[in-house]
Chain A
């Protein structure tokens, strides 16, 4: 399998001398769904930010498609995308206007067709002319996912994408992401605190704690290694080491 993302010795020490990420190394392959798991403050978000070029690493290397995010930012970012339940879109714009703006930021060809296709896939065609401020948080999440898929990315970074979705829509979203992965070979780096979701979605998971990688592998092998019946039990063992 092709290596899409290569991370080696990635470290982030903030000005207050707090080490958020401590010399982590991992790879991500084409068509893989890789889960980033860990308690709050484990360094998942900082890792994601460094991969996207939003935070400068203290040391270490990030290569995406064999390119360096510092020197080949435009080329990399035109082929990746990001969605998080913690960011939003301009409230006064309608869904269609927002997606049009981002289509053009990503130089999407035939963007009107692409927007229509994504709205249909996420079953939100009826809100295309609704201002974003009138949407429920679940609808906003789905619009953000549409935005994240506009440029048919090769790599998708998803930070808790189903956090504000009801179980029905969350399930549909997971199926959809898996389907797109299957059809287009999309690679997804996925963070979530929902361990069942991680088991269901991820080919491999990376457990982080206090900036370090504690475990890495297929969910079943991590569960075996940590003697947990599921990822939730492994999570608790890592988060509460003394118990």
Chain B
């Protein structure tokens, strides 16, 4: 019970922050909306050209929204952690009864809240501007989204562990690491267009299976269970590895006495 109270307390701390800070609210809404405006109109333009791929708008806008789900779930963890680093508040947290596990759970919970907010705005805008309704993907959307969120969490936890270990100079990872996976996630194109060596890498990236699955659903071929199973299996492994990596790093950071130096 006390654990839950602490997790909620930490969540409230961030809700206070977003309620009061316009730049932070912009971070949640500005980039996704800008992406949607820019790439949405590019998509509309290209879809009107002769020889355009069937379902082009659905492919592209669906991919854009789903990619943002992965990116935001990762950011929801890494940037929330950075908020504590920037405000020199980490020590206050770690000398309180809040455990590292409760801290991570709070970050996951926060990432879901931020994700819901951002997605709601993007889905509504896509519908208003381009008459694109992502819910036409039907129930298939649920497992696709869950897989992307879990991959985002795994990447976010690893990023957080690295910032904890290497200090604030590693904070650029919070924005860069997810993008590193984008080319091999085959977000906007099929895995088939990748050279063979990147296809091998893509096989081990859960998001590539999700986006392949999404394209098949849009093409009316139904949800490919094999792709889904691959994504889910990889996600379970990566999530476990990311949690182990975080705890190992936390132990190293405490052994090296670095916890008090994060944020300096």
Contact = CB atoms under 8 A, between A and B. Distances in A.
Instruction: Decide whether A and B are members of one complex.
Output: yes
Taking chain B's interface residues, is the majority helix, strand, or loop, or is none over half, making it mixed? Answer: helix
B92 interface: yes
A101 B9 contact: yes
B255 A93 contact: no
Contacts of B48: none
A106 B6 CA distance: 8
Contact of B95 (A82, A91, A97): A82
Given A84-B91, A89-B89, A55 B13 contact: no
Contacts, number: 107
Interface in B79-103: 83-84, 87-89, 91-99
Interface residues on B, range: 20 to 34
A77 B91 CA distance: 12
A73 interface: yes
Interface residues on A, range: 35 or more
A64 to B, nearest CB: 12
Contacts of B87: 88-92
B83 A104 contact: no
A105 interface: yes
Nearest to A78: B97
Contacts of B255: 15, 55-56
The 7 closest A-B pairs by CB, nearest first: A104-B9, A101-B13, A88-B88, A55-B257, A90-B87, A78-B97, A82-B95
20 contacts: A20-B257, A49-B257, A55-B259, A56-B254, A74-B99, A78-B97, A81-B95, A88-B87, A88-B88, A89-B87, A90-B13, A91-B87, A92-B21, A92-B87, A94-B20, A104-B5, A105-B96, A106-B97, A107-B6, A107-B97
Interface of B: 2, 5-6, 8-10, 12-13, 16-17, 20-21, 24, 83-84, 87-89, 91-99, 251, 254-257, 259-260
